[in-house]
Chains A and B, each alone.
Chain A
Amino acid sequence: MRNQSPGGPPPGSRKRPALLWLLLPYVLFLVVLPFVNRVTPTVLGLPFLFFWMLLATLLTPVSVWLARRGDRRRGHGRADAPSGGRA
């Protein structure tokens, strides 16, 4: 395990602004709802609300990917210690 000494901030616990990307699904599904709650225009035959929900579903992995990319750039998302130790 990594260093657990109580003194000093633990490694990598400072601000991680890339995590704000994780709020994107909330924006797509919820914040814009009043604007997308409509049947027309239909896209690919889908009523607009259902098309939008499909789009939001497909963009959710993208938002997590962006958050993860931010973490990896800061050397944060490395694979942790393999199993072993306490179980």
Chain B
Amino acid sequence: MKKIVLLLSLVATGLFAQAQTVEEILNTYFENVGGKEKLSTLNATQMTAKVNVQGMELPVEIVNTKDGKSLMKFQFQGKELVQQAFDGETAWAHNMMTMVAEKSDAETTENMKREAGSFPDPFLNYQEKGFKVELMGKEDMEGTPCFKVKLTKKPLMVDGQEQENVVYYFFDAENYVPLVAETMITSGPMKGKISQQIFSDYQEVDGLYFPFSLSFQLKGESGGQSLKVESVMLNPEIDDSIFAFKE
């Protein structure tokens, strides 16, 4: 009879996961989405997606590279508009009125430099990047028990003052993929509100899992914006001139 109790308790331990360390959570996460090794081979991704604006699905293209270059462009009425681009030195965007490229302000540019290292995954080799992670505990998110992990990246400049750059990731306690990432808005009248990025529809691309649905919303408030990913290209050939600011 003692044995049964012992066995049952073993079963029970299997059912109720033990206390997790943040390393264990991240390792399981990496395993479940395709492995650290595979992720480390990524130099760039090119993503095509649709944004649903008033029922019209606008095509979006997002390119990110390991060395911190990025481009996000939309198509409106057949015209391409760069919403934000960065070539490692200069951040810029198209002005909606003139549709001409304009440089972003100094602080935005500085912060884009400081954000380098988030590709392809901010948790990948986070220590080498000087990032910090901390398990904050378990919390329900999306009606689902999650591990809340605090990620502290390099500080950002906010209204002329340096500030901590914190993102909270909520990893599903069952399958260890992130369901939600939360950041606090740091400037303007929305300051202090929590902005949420919600991940779902994870799908495999050449052995790696990516969320094919990304939603953005303010915590507790209705309305938001969704990005429906249609394709992800791994290590595409990229002409670096697409990131560059042109007068």
A and B bind: no
Binding site for B on A (CB under 8 A): none
Binding site for A on B (CB under 8 A): none
